[in-house]
Structure 1
Amino acid sequence: MVPFRIPLKTLAAALLTVVCVSFSVFPGQSQGQEISKHQRIVPDSVEPKPFSTVATRQTPLYTVDFRSADQISQQDRLLLADSESTIAEHAGFAGLEFSQSNWKSRQIVCPTFPNHLFVQYTRNNGAGDVSVFSVSIPRNGNGRVRIVPIVKRGYSLFSPAPINALTISAFNHIRAEDSETANSDWLGNALCYAALAGTRPEIMTPGAEPALHRPIPALTAAMEVEMHAHGMEVLRFDDAAARPHATEWSMTFTHQGKLIKATHRPASMAAVNPASQKDAVARTWPVPPSGQN
Structure 2
Amino acid sequence: MVPFPISLKTLAAAVLAVVCVSLFVFPAQSQGQENSKHQRIVPDPVEPRPFSTVAVRKTPLYTVAFRSPDQFSEQDRLLLADSESSIAEHAGFAGLAFSQSNWKTRQIVCPTFPNHLFVQYTRNNGAGDVSVFSASIPRNGNGRVRVVPILKRGYSLFSPAPINALTISAFNHIRAEDPETANSDWLGNALCYAALAGARPEILAASAEPAVHKPIPALTAAMDVQMQARGIEVIRFDDAAARPHAMEWQMTFTHQGKLIKATHRPAAMMAVRPASQKDAVARTWPVPQGGQN
TM-score by length of 2: 0.88
Q: Note closer, same or farther for the CA distance 1:59–1:44 as it changes in structure 2 (3 Å cut).
A: same
Choose the corresponding residue for 1:221, options 219, 224, 228. 219
Aligned-pair CA distance for 1:237: 1.1
Gaps of 5+ in 2: 1-12
Aligned-pair CA distance for 1:222: 1.9
1:124 and 1:194 map into 2 onto residues whose CA distance is: 21
Name 1:66's counterpart in structure 2. Answer: 66
- Deviations along 1:28-52, one digit per CA (max 9) or x if unpaired, are 3321233235432222111111111
Name 2:197's counterpart in structure 1. Answer: 197
Q: Note closer, same or farther for the CA distance 1:25–1:271 as it changes in structure 2 (3 Å cut).
A: closer
Does 2:273 align with 1:277?
no
Name 2:292's counterpart in structure 1. Answer: 292
Name 1:8's counterpart in structure 2. Answer: none
Q: Which amino acid aligns with 2:51?
A: F
Partner-residue secondary structure (3-state), 1:137: strand
Alignment check: 8 A CA contact 1:203 1:221 kept:
yes
Q: Which amino acid aligns with 2:92?
A: G
2:280 and 2:247 map into 1 onto residues whose CA distance is: 18
Gaps of 5+ in 1: 1-12
Q: Note closer, same or farther for the CA distance 1:135–1:220 as it changes in structure 2 (3 Å cut).
A: closer
Alignment check: 8 A CA contact 1:203 1:240 kept:
no
2:91 and 2:213 map into 1 onto residues whose CA distance is: 36
1:244 and 1:259 map into 2 onto residues whose CA distance is: 27
Alignment check: 8 A CA contact 1:163 1:261 kept:
yes
**1:225-244 → structure 2 map (5 Å cutoff):** 225-228=223-226, 229=228, 230-244=230-244
Name 2:27's counterpart in structure 1. Answer: 27
Q: Which amino acid aligns with 2:153?
A: R
Name 2:150's counterpart in structure 1. Answer: 150
Aligned-pair CA distance for 1:188: 0.7
Name 2:210's counterpart in structure 1. Answer: 210
Name 1:81's counterpart in structure 2. Answer: 81
> What is the count of residue pairs matched by the alignment?
279
Partner-residue secondary structure (3-state), 1:182: coil
Partner-residue secondary structure (3-state), 2:33: helix
1:98 and 1:213 map into 2 onto residues whose CA distance is: 31
Q: Note closer, same or farther for the CA distance 1:290–1:256 as it changes in structure 2 (3 Å cut).
A: same
Aligned-pair CA distance for 1:180: 2.8
Alignment check: 8 A CA contact 2:219 2:273 kept:
no
Name 1:5's counterpart in structure 2. Answer: none
Alignment check: 8 A CA contact 1:207 1:273 kept:
no
1:265 and 1:182 map into 2 onto residues whose CA distance is: 25
Name 2:135's counterpart in structure 1. Answer: 135
Partner-residue secondary structure (3-state), 2:284: coil
Alignment check: 8 A CA contact 1:63 1:112 kept:
no
Partner-residue secondary structure (3-state), 2:179: helix
Does 2:177 align with 1:177?
yes
Name 2:45's counterpart in structure 1. Answer: 45
2:77 and 2:218 map into 1 onto residues whose CA distance is: 35
TM-score by length of 1: 0.88
Name 1:124's counterpart in structure 2. Answer: 124
Q: Which amino acid aligns with 1:223?
A: A
